[in-house]
Structure 1
């Protein structure tokens, strides 16, 4: 706690970096997910293929954690 209180400038900078990276990742994922969901809603055949591939990817633990 003493470290945090003695270095507020560094802590605020790191919090800002963390928020920037988090929001960037969130916006990128939304940018991918929304158009993909629109395509999947329109085509059942494409949806089955994409969900099959994603199901296989989720069996790999390091990818599932992303």
Structure 2
């Protein structure tokens, strides 16, 4: 049986409200479990793909600052 993890994650959160999405993200970060990283990666991929160039630049600046 072939499982597409990306599609499964998107399916699980599709239709969620902003509050539900925020709770999912906060929970994943607070738990700090490695198994949550793919889900956060998929959510970031969706954000990236749906962001303007200006938004992407701001995200990269925030990331760069956070990694210093």
Give TM-score, length-normalised by structure 2: 0.42
Give TM-score, length-normalised by structure 1: 0.43
Indicate the structure with greater helix content. 1
The higher relative CO (CA closer than 8 Å, separation ≥ 6) is in 2
